[in-house]
A = this chain, B = another copy of it.
Amino acid sequence: MASSAGKPKWRRVQHQAPYCVPPSHRIFTERNKMVTKDIQLRELFRNTEKYAGKEVVVRGWVRQNRNSNKFGFINLNDGTFFQPVQIVYEADKLDNFEEVAKAPLSSALLIKGTMLMTPDAKQPFEIHAEEVTMEADSAADYPLQNKRHSMEFLREIAHLRPRSNTFAAVFRVRSLVAYAIHKFFQERDFVYVHTPIITGSDAEGAGEMFQVTTLDMKNPPLTEDGKIDYSQDFFGKETNLTVSGQLEAEIFALAFRNVYTFGPTFRAENSNTARHASEFWMIEPEIAFADLDNDMQVAEDMVKYIINYVLENAPEEMEFFNKFVDKGLLDRLHHVVNSDFDRVPYTKAVEILQKADKEFQYPVEWGIDLQTEHERYLTEEVFKKPIFVTDYPKDIKAFYMRLNDDGKTVAACDMLVPDVGEIIGGSQREERMDVLQARMKEMGLNEKDYWWYLELRKYGGVKHAGYGLGFERMIMYVTGMSNIRDVLPFPRTPKTSEF
């Protein structure tokens, strides 16, 4: 928000009578007091030439403070840029040198000083302090000391871990990926739809769900035959947290042609793996007048767009991941944006796996759901890039996927990526009323629960297709982070809902 001009300005704002405080555009004020035009570090790092040799005012938190009794160095970070700025301070110049020398880790300072380029040093420039003001103190027992911490410990201090290098990088990249996704779809005039979080329907016809209620758990009202009387619950019926917005997205695709969702989804599965969370975010585009080929093309374009966006907009963070989290990450991502993704029908994939010179834990035969070991073998050893596996057996897929002419497979696709496995699952939707009804009957679904979904087929139900992208899986893929708990700001998993 702040400042773009070079010279800091200090001035007094007059509180104007009788009640109108004039907006002071683009200036970080303090109410009716001094006005400090400070410069955010991102601005300073991105436009160093502009500020070189000039007087600047910066604010931030102490990330390191080393000193002798004559001078000292502070690494200061205000959170707007991945790297800290080096502050040089001297006893000769500061009245409060001793106070500054004691400024503890995570205390906050306001610094007025001169920015000097340092072509021979590691950092591009440093600021020589002329005035230092303490803005906030920090206690000596600050848990995030400058040493290596385990990921488990950092999860316990989720209120402080965004201040560490790793999580500063993860959560900025998370934000950029989210924006890249919106940008990708909005540039293509897709309409963003907020599908409901609380729902009476169950999109997949499967999956354990969280119940949402305002009934008194201790004394719930009962019906005459002794069941819970949900007519007295808040919504007048039993409701759950959504597992997918797809069915509702289809409503919008059949009105706007191109739409997408981006919202939280929930699974009440009691599974403790590095790839599953109980609350996660999902993106579900849905496209009318489209078949599976179109669908895969959009998915491929989107993945490349996201990677390019992050490489361009978070070079420092991506460099950090490549160096400290996942060596080879950048090579892999560059390779992906320059490849055409391969497409292999499930039946062919099974043949490849059966012929493979490799012992799998789960034996492969036509009809099984592919396991992570199979998926990884295909992407990492056979194709060496992301692939779509298409046309899965209908028995292992959802009721709404379009039946192929062979009567055995459906027009589904999974995008598999090296190291992570599945990040996208999509399909062409069954638009033929009779086929859909037969399929629902086969799977024991009640048509009444899907009355509006069926009506979409009755009134102009053109072919359409869509997919779901697991947002956190995408973040794991582009950062190299290996546990979903470390790409979610406040992960929810079995027995864990702190913060």
B-contacting residues of A (Cβ < 8 Å)?
Answer: 1, 18-26, 28-31, 38, 40, 42, 59, 61-62, 78-80, 106-108, 135-139, 142, 158-160, 162-163, 167-168, 171-172, 174-175, 178-179, 182, 186, 188-189, 191-201, 208, 210-215, 217-218, 220, 227-228, 234-237, 239, 241, 248, 251-252, 254-258, 263-264, 266, 268, 270, 278-279, 281, 287-294, 296-298, 300, 340-345, 348, 390, 411, 428, 431, 452-453, 455-456, 458-463, 488-490, 492, 494-499
Contacts and interface: CB of A to CB of B under 8 A. Distances in A.
B248 A340 contact: no
| Identical chains bound together, number | 2
A208 B214 CA distance: 9
A311 to B, nearest CB: 16
A163 B460 CA distance: 11
B19 A251 contact: no
Contacts of A78: 257, 288-289
Nearest to A249: B489
B235 A28 contact: no
A189 B281 CA distance: 22
Contact of A258 (B1, B196, B234, B390): B1
Contacts of A137: 460
A148 to B, nearest CB: 19
A108 B462 contact: yes
Contacts of A463: 135-136
A350 to B, nearest CB: 11
Contacts of A278: 198, 234-235
A23 B168 contact: no
14 contacts: A19-B343, A23-B340, A29-B291, A42-B189, A61-B460, A79-B254, A135-B462, A171-B252, A179-B186, A195-B489, A197-B241, A198-B279, A215-B217, A217-B228
